[in-house]
Amino acid sequence: MKKIISWVLRNIPRPVLQLITPVVMFFVRIFYTGNKVECTVCSSTYSSFLPYGRLTPRQNALCPNCLSLERHRLIILYLKNKTDFFTPGKQVLHIAPEHCFLKSFEALHKDGYITGDLYSPLAKVKMDVHAIPFPDNKFDVVFCNHVLEHVTDDRLAVREIRRVLKPGGFAILQSPADYRVEKTYEDPSITDPLEREKAFGQNDHMRLFGRDYGQRLGESGLRIDQYEVAKELSKEQIERYRLDKGEILYCCVK
């Protein structure tokens, strides 16, 4: 199963995957009935989650119902515990929208919920995060997860996100980071996909963020509040929701 998932993730384009996966999962779910793990996004319970990952798939990671991963389940917990995101009627910009959040966020915030992306078929507005096509101070919340490692200029993108946030609004800007290294590593001269995979961990990544990720986000003028899984949640919660205990969520407040 791990080998199949790794092959599929590396060889089938992401937009195609996003469209066909729900159909496949309908049949897979039958084999995972149980109550050992719980998804914070869709509230389903299973005997375990599915393995997921491009190079070496992680066991027990992907919700067979809504396709959430560890990071999505953490975001929902954070939003519930620490923010008023679930008060209806907010102005929300969701860049590179994750499939597992779409229906519930749209039902909650109705026309105030706007999705944007350069390529994704899931997004309503075709947009480049380096030049967000919205006025200053428009949004209460911006989500832009697993995008900043792909873009040409991540600092410009974060300044743009800050610009469109209302004063007091917040952004969730999660990216893969290697906390073993102190400084973010980037080298624009590396353009070959194989070389990029070696240097940055994936063939379409432009950089590998390090422990300075939060500080780098803060250069935009946003205030960065760190929510560390291991400090904020119990072992039982981490196991039941299958979170990454080393993950840090960066809430960026204007």
Chain residues in the site for Zn ion (CB under 5 A): 39, 41-42, 63, 65-66, 68
Identify which of residues 65 and 91 has a Cβ nearer to Zn ion in the complex: 65
**Residue 41: CB minimum distance to Zn ion, A:** 5
**Residue 248: CB minimum distance to Zn ion, A:** 22
User: For residues 228 and 249, what is the distance between their CA atoms, to the nearest angstrom?
Assistant: 6
Identify which of residues 103 and 155 has a Cβ nearer to Zn ion in the complex: 103
**Residue 254: CB minimum distance to Zn ion, A:** 30
**Residue 146: CB minimum distance to Zn ion, A:** 18
Helix (H, G, I), strand (E, B) or coil at 41: coil
Identify which of residues 39 and 127 has a Cβ nearer to Zn ion in the complex: 39
Residue number, nearest CB to Zn ion = 39
254 Cα distance to chain centroid: 20
Identify which of residues 31 and 179 has a Cβ nearer to Zn ion in the complex: 31
Return the half-sphere exposure (C-beta side, CA atoms, 13 A cut-off) of residue 148: 26
Identify which of residues 39 and 222 has a Cβ nearer to Zn ion in the complex: 39
**Residue 109: CB minimum distance to Zn ion, A:** 20
Q: Are 206 and 185 in contact (CB under 8 A)?
A: no
Kindly tell me the sign of the dihedral angle through the C-alpha atoms of 157, 160, 162, 164: negative
Kindly tell me the sign of the dihedral angle through the C-alpha atoms of 100, 106, 109, 114: positive
The CA-CA-CA angle for residues 101, 178, 211, to 5°, reads 100
